[in-house]
């Protein structure tokens, strides 16, 4: 994290932990306002990879699951980076600022992803680097987020649909899915500081976990080291939320991903779940206790504390187990916490 930005947040009341800003002094109140009000969040818990050079577009087009050629100053996209077996090493939001592409993903996956991508540069005229301090980044969400952001930007036409992006001289404003209008904002330090000060009057600053909760409520997964290589994109609903193109050229794992799409072999899907716990980590197993010998039928993608109690999370589960044994699924073991399964906020149907 940029030293000046960290000092700015500290002066605003931020309390830091291993995963970035933990809270602004009142975690319980912050959780409550996250799902009901207008909230402001530092996004430095996520890192950035910058990709630029004469061959940057062609290079990314040959490595990622989505159609990079569709990106411009008015659009961002979800994307994933897969193994040759079609398993996601990482997923991220991708956008372009000037001649540079930026991949936003968890800090813990920045260096592993960089290392692997660099293996395939070969003779391409492309540079990849850790861009953690290149752009300051914040999130803004809430019932009034769109109108308040428009006012804070002096009447600018902020994006009104998910994946749309507004490019300004000092800022990129990305609309992302959410239970309320929700935005990711990237830019130069001074410009982001000025915008934070304006929005801070209109909403409440919250810790990083609350932004994760908003991702979960929107059904948007994040791959972490514990789940890297665990899922084909469709298992995590990536093709349902605009993270996969079936009309572009080849990329690592493309054949596996396409076969699963067109032959109908998908046996796992990502669902929302609730459990009466204080914490739940990516990679934890979910078992079906209706079996004679309880067996693993799913994996937690991520989960966060909910203001109404317990945790709300996303998990990739066997479709059959959800249909036949939804009331008998538990976390880790047959004596673990019972989980309640529900659909994400979009249809679980195969995209055309």
- Token duo for residue 101: 């592409």
Helix axes 3-11, 189-202, angle to 10 degrees: 20
User: Residues comprising the binding site?
Assistant: 184
Give the pairing type, strands 329-331 and 295-305: unpaired
- Token duo for residue 64: 């990622």
Give the pairing type, strands 295-305 and 285-288: antiparallel
Task: Count the Cβ atoms, other than its own, within 10 Å of residue 47.
Answer: 23
Whether residue 69 contacts residue 79, with contact meaning beta carbons closer than 8 Å, is answered with no
Whether residue 223 contacts residue 113, with contact meaning beta carbons closer than 8 Å, is answered with no
Q: Facing residues of 182 across strands?
A: 141, 176
User: Residues comprising the binding site for substrate?
Assistant: 184
Q: List the one residue out of 127, 85, 88 whose CA is nearest residue 105.
A: 88
SS3 content of the chain, % helix, strand, coil (to 5): 30, 30, 40
Residue 137, CA distances (Å) to 174, 196, 244 in order: 11, 10, 25
- 3-state secondary structure at position 230: coil
Residues 6+ apart with CB under 8 A from 171: 185, 186, 187, 188, 191, 192, 195
């Amino acid at each position: 994290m940029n030293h000046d930005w960290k000092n700015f947040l500290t002066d605003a009341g931020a309390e830091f932990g291993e995963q970035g800003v933990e809270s602004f002094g009142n975690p319980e109140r912050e959780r409550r306002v996250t799902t009901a009000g207008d909230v402001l969040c530092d996004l430095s818990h996520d890192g950035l990879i910058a990709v630029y050079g004469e061959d940057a577009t062609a290079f990314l087009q040959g490595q990622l699951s989505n159609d990079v050629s569709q990106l411009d100053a008015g659009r961002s996209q979800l994307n994933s980076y897969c193994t040759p077996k079609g398993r996601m090493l990482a997923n991220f939001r991708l956008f372009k600022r000037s001649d540079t592409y930026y991949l936003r993903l968890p800090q813990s996956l920045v260096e592993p992803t960089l290392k692997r991508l660099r293996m395939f540069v070969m003779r391409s005229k492309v540079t990849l680097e850790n861009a953690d301090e290149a752009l300051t980044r914040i999130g803004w969400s809430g019932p009034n987020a769109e109108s308040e952001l428009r006012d804070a930007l002096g009447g600018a036409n902020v994006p009104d649909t998910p994946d749309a992006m507004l490019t300004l001289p000092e800022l990129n404003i990305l609309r992302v899915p959410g239970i309320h209008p929700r935005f990711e904002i990237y830019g130069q330090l001074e410009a982001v500081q000025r915008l934070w000060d304006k929005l801070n009057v209109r909403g409440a600053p919250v810790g990083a976990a609350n932004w994760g909760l908003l991702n979960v409520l929107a059904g948007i997964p994040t791959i972490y080291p514990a789940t890297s290589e665990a899922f084909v994109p469709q298992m995590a609903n990536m093709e349902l939320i605009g993270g996969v193109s079936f009309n572009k050229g080849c990329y690592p794992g493309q054949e596996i991903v396409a076969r699963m799409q067109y032959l109908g072999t998908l046996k796992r899907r990502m669902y929302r779940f609730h459990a009466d716990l204080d914490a739940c980590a990516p990679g934890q197993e979910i078992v079906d206790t209706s079996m004679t010998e309880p067996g693993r039928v799913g994996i937690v993608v991520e989960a966060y504390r909910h203001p109404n109690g317990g945790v709300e999370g996303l998990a990739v589960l066997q479709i059959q187990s959800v249909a036949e044994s939804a009331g008998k699924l538990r976390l880790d073991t047959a004596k673990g916490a019972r989980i309640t399964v529900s659909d994400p906020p979009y249809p679980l149907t195969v995209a055309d």
